[in-house]
Amino acid sequence: MPPFDVPEGDPFGPHNLPYGVFSLPGSSHRTVGVRLGDHVLDAGAAAHALGSPYASLLARPSLNPLLAAGRTAWSDVRRALTAWVTVPSHRETVEPLFHPLSDVTLHLPFEVADYVDFYASENHARNVGQIFRPDAEDSLTPNWKHLPIGYHGRSGTVVVSGTDVVRPSGQRKAPTDAAPVFGPSVRLDIEAEVGFVVGVPSRMGEPVALADFREHVFGLCLLNDWSARDIQAWEYVPLGPFLGKSFATSVSAWITPLDALEESRVAPPARTHELLPYLDDTDEEPGGYDLRISVAVNGHLVSEPPFATMYWTAAQQLAHMTVNGASLRTGDLYGSGTVSGPADRERGSLLELTWNGRDPLELPDGKRTFLEDGDVVTLSAWAPGPDGVRVGLGEVTGRVVGG
Ligand code: CA
């Protein structure tokens, strides 16, 4: 079907228009593409063909120039793209510049600067607390309701959807073991998350206020924070996650601009504690996003984590991340933290879904506690869009291969 005739109601219709970077078979030339249905528009070529001033932002091998251009440019480019793919008079010029998705190679769409990962789901934090600190009086740590907990991760190992993930090796030691052993992780897990992509930088010493979130953050994508639970458990006290996380983080090939998600904005859960002024979003616009995530292992649906249940918003995370004066760079990526809802089948990790291996999942190809070599994990999601139409998020998938 020609790309202009994308069916009404398609989650990747002209109301969505996520950005990626693609190349054609036999070519090393990478350039910005915009998805429409099951096609990719060569956005830079379209800009050239139509004499648009945005060619300098779009005929590029990464999204970084567009990310750095700022909110006014983001809105203008999106408005132009919407016209290019919907106004009938452009059809003759633009239609030849589409490629079927199945014909292109999708690449990591931006140069990842710094990478931070948060821990913003109360259900996830409580589940983890109950699993690892069953005797604690409160399953949340004392700081949890006062600040969005996070750590700095490894940006160089962020990979695009479709990249194989090699099972990491490392030290592990169960509490009952006399000494640590070294070998491939036997508790390889996933974490279903949403990643936020920073466009506009900030200066050192100048915190970013809650209200300025949309001036700095361009868009979001699904993110899988692969986690080796056995390596993590032995190494994380007292400085937090390190080699149990840094071997790979997968992101979608498609970055959905925040402007495509206006209808999916929701208020976060009611706050149970008074927040310090820099985090107090009582009088701010709704900071949550109603994203309905699905987690599949080898094509079998195992969980549907609801992003709307996240306690801390992306705006609060950005404000907290910069409140000490740390600066932002174009291409900074921060993960929301594992998304887990209140119900059993809304949990975003195998750690929680199997309760640390106690309750294996029944899959068509056998029981699963943690991941086995050859397993393919796929995150997908949609959000409510204009007039009841869904906004599809690009999936993030990865296959585990033996280390
Ligand atoms: Ca995580």
Percent pLDDT > 90 in the chain is 97
0.95 surpassed by pTM: yes
Q: What pLDDT does residue 3 have?
A: 79
26 Cα to the center of ligand 1, angstroms:
36
Cβ–Cβ < 8 Å for 191, 311? no
251 Cα to the center of ligand 1, angstroms:
13
- pLDDT range class, residue 1, cuts 50, 70, 90: low
- pLDDT range class, residue 4, cuts 50, 70, 90: confident
Which residues belong to the active site?
124
Q: What is the C-alpha separation between 194 and 125, in angstroms, rounded? A: 16
260 Cα to the center of ligand 1, angstroms:
25
Place of tokens 């599949």: 296
- DSSP3 helix / strand / coil % (the chain, rounded to 5): 25, 30, 45
Q: What is the C-alpha separation between 26 and 370, in angstroms, rounded? A: 38
Domain limits, the chain: 19-107, 115-166+189-228+248-401
157 Cα to the center of ligand 1, angstroms:
14
The CATH class of the 19-107 domain is mainly beta
Q: Is the peptide bond before 386 cis (omega within 30 degrees of 0)?
A: no
The CATH class of the 115-166+189-228+248-401 domain is alpha beta
**Residue 131 burial by CB count (10 A; 0-12/13-18/19+): exposed, middle or buried?**
middle
Instruction: List, for residues 99-151, the tens digit of each pLDDT value.
Output: 999 999 999 999 999 999 999 999 999 999 999 889 999 999 999 999 999 99
337 Cα to the center of ligand 1, angstroms:
5
Give residues with Cβ within 8 angstroms of 277, minimum separation 6: none
